[in-house]
């Protein structure tokens, strides 16, 4: 079973599991709150459900390690609820009016109710994780809940840094890497660890899984930074000018601010046109910012695949689930630029 076939098999189970768990709660007179959550999850008003990469990763890793989908499912659902909680709060803090080409929750229902919906999803994520008591054991459920809360702390620290970058002039590439480690890296690290934990793996394998997931998240985010400036919009679905126009401090941009005075001069202008955007992208190439980011992405990509090869030395002929895991990582980390 290849990656597409595995997704076709698991994603419907994830989707029905998410809806079933949400439906298990009686919202009574607060039924509009449930509608808001369903809107956020992509189930209403022609919303996008997203790729559900995080729960898929949990289940795929668990399966590759000899676990069972039904056993790991509460953890998989939990990380997706948690992910959507963070999206709601990030959209409010970033004042983002759109997500997936439709109004964000706060834009449609107001900041106060959007915060409330985000808090509800945070609680639902906790309850879903604790549901591991019914599929694993109380001790695993308790450990998983602790890991979930540790990750939430990492996420909030990462978001603090991300927001503080907007007003700070001396953000270094190293601080940026710390920020994405606390956001993308921490959440994918949690997914990998939960896959191993619910498949009853020992501490050493859990440590390697953490290394794998964190490196996967770091490489994915840096790759996304590169695509945000030099990617093909038809493939990425994102304008190559958006990061430069909105002055988003991604890794190549931070390198450019240090290494290129001409780039810094353009960056400090209030409004730039498409010609200047192209000029800025060219200056980033000239000063080595693109090369630096690509090297960092390749470093973390190597770390991720090295960890996988320790866990699964011969995936192709012995472990079809692990083979699919390698295929997923290749798709995520080697996207065409």
For residues 15-54, one letter each, b for 16 or more C-beta atoms within 10 angstroms of the residue's C-beta and e for the rest, the string is bebbeebbeeeeeeeeeeebbbbbbbbbeeeebeeeebbb
d(CA 56, CA 46): 22
Closest CA to 70 of 16, 122, 117, 139: 16
Lowest mean pLDDT among 23-27, 212-216, 234-238: 234-238
The phi and psi torsions of 230 (rounded to 5 degrees) equal -120, 5
- Distance in angstroms between the alpha carbons of the first and the last residue of the chain: 28
Residue 86 has pLDDT above 90, yes or no: yes
Residue 100, helix vs strand vs coil: coil
Over the stretch 98-110, which tens digit does the pLDDT of each residue have? 888 899 999 999 9
Q: CB–CB of 41/90 below 8 Å?
A: no
- Rounded CA-CA distance 147/150 in Å is 5
Q: Is 195 helix (H, G, I), strand (E, B) or coil?
A: helix
CB-based contacts of 32: which residues, under 8 Å, 6+ apart?
none
DSSP per-residue string spanning 213-257:
HHHHHHHHHHHHHHHHHHS-HHHHSS-TTHHHHTT---HHHHHHH
**Which residues face 312 on adjacent strands?**
none
State the DSSP string of 274-322.
HHHHHHHHHHHHHTTHHHHHHHHHHHHHHHHHHHHHHH-SSHHHH-HHH
Model confidence band, residue 243 (pLDDT cutoffs 50, 70, 90)? confident
Q: Percentage of residues in the chain with pLDDT exceeding 70?
A: 95
Q: Let me know: does 76 contact 14? Beta carbons within 8 Å.
A: yes
Mean pLDDT, residues 298-323: 87
Sign of the torsion angle spanned by Cα atoms 300, 11, 9, 132: positive
Of the candidates 242, 137, 235, 150, the residue with the CA atom closest to the CA atom of residue 193: 150
User: Out of 184-188, 245-249, 284-288, which region has the weakest mean confidence (pLDDT)?
Assistant: 245-249
Sign of CA dihedral 28, 34, 36, 39: negative
pLDDT at 101: 84
Residues linked to residue 103 through DSSP beta bridges, in sequence order: 98
Q: What is the pLDDT of residue 317?
A: 56
- Of 33-42, 81-90, 188-197, 327-336, where does mean pLDDT reach its minimum? 327-336
Asked if 72 contacts 14 with a C-beta cutoff of 8 angstroms, the reply is no
10 Å Cβ neighbour count for 258?
A: 15
pLDDT digits (tens, 9 = 90+) for 263-282: 999 999 988 888 999 999 99
CB 104 within 8 A of CB 97: yes
Average pLDDT, the chain: 92
């Amino acid at each position: 079973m290849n990656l597409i076939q595995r997704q076709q098999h698991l994603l419907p189970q994830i989707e029905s599991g998410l809806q079933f768990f949400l439906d298990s709660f009686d919202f009574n007179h607060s039924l509009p709150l449930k509608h808001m959550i369903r809107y956020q999850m992509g189930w209403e008003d022609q919303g996008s459900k997203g790729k559900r990469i995080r729960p898929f990763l949990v289940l795929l890793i668990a399966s590759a390690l000899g676990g069972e989908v039904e056993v790991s499912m509460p953890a998989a659902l939990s990380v997706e609820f948690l992910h959507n909680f963070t999206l709601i709060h990030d959209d409010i803090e970033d004042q983002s009016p759109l997500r997936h080409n439709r109004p964000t929750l706060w834009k449609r229902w107001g900041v106060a109710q959007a915060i409330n919906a985000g808090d509800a999803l945070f609680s639902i994520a906790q309850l879903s994780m604790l549901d591991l008591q019914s599929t694993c054991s109380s001790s695993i459920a308790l450990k998983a809940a602790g890991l979930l809360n540790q990750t939430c702390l990492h996420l909030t620290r990462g978001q603090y840094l991300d927001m503080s970058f907007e007003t700070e002039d001396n953000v270094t590439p190293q601080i940026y890497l710390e920020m994405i480690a606390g956001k993308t890296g921490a959440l994918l690290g949690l997914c990998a660890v939960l896959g191993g934990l619910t498949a009853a793996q020992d501490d050493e394998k859990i440590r390697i899984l953490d290394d794998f997931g964190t490196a996967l998240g770091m490489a994915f985010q840096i790759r996304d930074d590169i695509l945000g400036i030099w990617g093909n919009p038809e493939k990425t679905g994102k304008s190559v000018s958006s990061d430069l126009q909105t002055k988003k401090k991604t890794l190549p941009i931070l390198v450019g601010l240090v290494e290129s005075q001409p780039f810094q001069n353009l960056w400090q202008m209030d409004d730039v046109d498409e010609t200047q955007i192209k000029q800025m992208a060219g200056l980033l190439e000239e000063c080595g910012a693109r090369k630096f980011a690509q090297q960092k992405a390749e470093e973390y990509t190597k770390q991720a695949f090295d960890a996988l090869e320790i866990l699964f030395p011969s995936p192709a002929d012995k472990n079809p689930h692990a083979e699919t895991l390698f295929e997923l990582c290749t798709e995520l980390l080697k996207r065409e630029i």
